[in-house]
Structure 1
């Protein structure tokens, strides 16, 4: 058997050691996308998956073309999965609802960089509604009555209205949960609940209602007379576009600019409205949501 040159063995060993050492020094932080790797953009699962897939693909195509980045759309099973994936490094960008964002900030290092604009506003309100025949005219009248929230994960349908009841020292006789905003409106309309909490939007230019009661206007034409508004919550900041802190600032800036540009196109406005009722975006920071942090801390 032919013997190997000792010098060759030494040179080969040195190269291997140098290569291993160099690889260790350049190791990246897990989850942080490199220049040519995939950036995962998560969409809040508020629509049926086929419809969401279709709309998400259009937006992602525009962003990829505008930024030359490889961006991949992801539709998580639920809001909790999206939050978890920001923590594990899988998610880099997310169109989140406000409560999901607060939960993500409390657990992981994420930043709100754009805030959605709806009906020309960057905030909205919750409303407390009542059945017109139940003699509920003020917040104090809710004491001892049947009151319906949407669900405990809703900002306008639970968190902020509950804050009003607590501040007034009012305790309903029975708490009900309708899950969705239209369900709560129907419960109040039918008298299953005496009062309830849903989202509020100001009437349109011609006076047409745009709050949660409008969801059932086709079914109950007299809903505006049968279900009245007795109070509004303080302003609630609109849903944010959230970024993982692992994304470099130059990429974040690029994507934000592209999102704003997309929202100003006719097709972009139409798509974003279909997705989340969003008309456009304005820049923001986590500080814009400080009142929500405080409201949750007092829960």
Structure 2
């Protein structure tokens, strides 16, 4: 019997190791009878015993190893930072002037810089979007705004121009005896524009009037500020746009403040402008002597039309439009961007800049200011209002 139970145990263990689900196993064992005299007669008993059978499953797993190709580091000879310029001057001049900057940046930083001259600003923007981690664009304000909208380019610097300003503005001029007192009065009126490509003198006002639902009448394109100012003075058009430069204040004690000071603040003296001995239009003498120097577009025709300030007035100004600017691609690393911004400021303040960005036949900058992104909002307003896209014609202001 012990042998029989051993066989049962072995059979049970075998099936336990091989089955994956309970099965019914028929086991036969011998049960002794109650009589002790005669040999026990075997009795067959059928018992249902649940047995678990475990199956061993082998699975093959395939591991795919990804190999990342080596990418040259930023600023290396194989992947230099790109200084991108539009054709604002003769190509030979740009190439030589810009190379001075590139060589200096390489010497100071140990990084490699390469000059790129493209056909227009849109091509610069396209390249900044395609290579956002290594491109640096020298752009107009509208170019900066478009680059920001198209692929997140970030502005670093705004240039200070030879007039010591980092912004420019346009103005709407009307005759003093006209009945034009607010923008709404320009509806249906004739307009003289001195430059169709100008943001402050044309496109900003196009957007402003469109946003206000004002549709001017005849629009006349004229050659320059002087012609535009004379056109409104002589009554050839109802209004004209032109360049606005703020007056220099008495004793140069402070700067004229946009949005706070009246565009014609000098009128508070009750004295008419006159020509100074060295050719400036002044009120109560030169600024160093306590007077004002008047610098808006009307001063250009003062010698031939001395009455222009008495017979015309400024209706409104455009928003201030930033001057030429420097921006980096949207994925340009923060560390290198800060280093470049600091180096560029140092370069423009150095004597070497006169052979490069500060040269009169190139940009003619006299300094740089840290850019304020909000100052470019008027450009976003123009782009959005006029529906400009990446196909817009970008210009040099």
Calculate the TM-score normalised by the size of structure 1. Answer: 0.71
Instruction: Name 2:148's counterpart in structure 1.
Output: 105
Distance 1:212 1:62 in 2: 39
Task: State the Cα RMSD in Å.
Answer: 3.7
Cα displacement (A) at 1:244: 0.8
Deviations 1:51-107 (A, max 9, x none): 333332333232222222221222221122222222222870011111111111111
Cα displacement (A) at 1:240: 2.2
Instruction: Name 2:230's counterpart in structure 1.
Output: 189
2:358 matched to 1:272?
A: yes
Counting helix residues as a fraction of each chain, which structure ranks higher? Answer: 1
2:166 matched to 1:126?
A: no
**Secondary structure class of the residue paired with 1:115:** strand
Distance 1:210 1:269 in 2: 26
Instruction: Name 2:158's counterpart in structure 1.
Output: 115
Deviations 1:105-145 (A, max 9, x none): 11113111112223444333222245x69958655564433
Distance 1:223 1:35 in 2: 60
Alpha carbons 1:101, 1:240 under 8 Å: kept: yes
Larger Rg: 2
Quick check: 191-200 or 243-252, which moved more? 191-200
Distance 1:50 1:134 in 2: 51
Q: 1:97 to 1:287 in 2, by over 3 A?
A: same
2:322 matched to 1:237?
A: yes
Alpha carbons 1:134, 1:194 under 8 Å: kept: no
Distance 1:134 1:72 in 2: 57
Alpha carbons 2:298, 2:308 under 8 Å: kept: no
Q: 1:272 to 1:166 in 2, by over 3 A?
A: same
Instruction: Name 1:258's counterpart in structure 2.
Output: 343
Alpha carbons 2:76, 2:112 under 8 Å: kept: no
2:159 matched to 1:86?
A: no
**Secondary structure class of the residue paired with 2:89:** coil
Cα displacement (A) at 1:208: 6.0
Structure 1 gaps, min length 5 = 1-17
Q: 1:211 to 1:96 in 2, by over 3 A?
A: farther
Cα displacement (A) at 1:188: 4.6
Q: 1:64 to 1:250 in 2, by over 3 A?
A: same
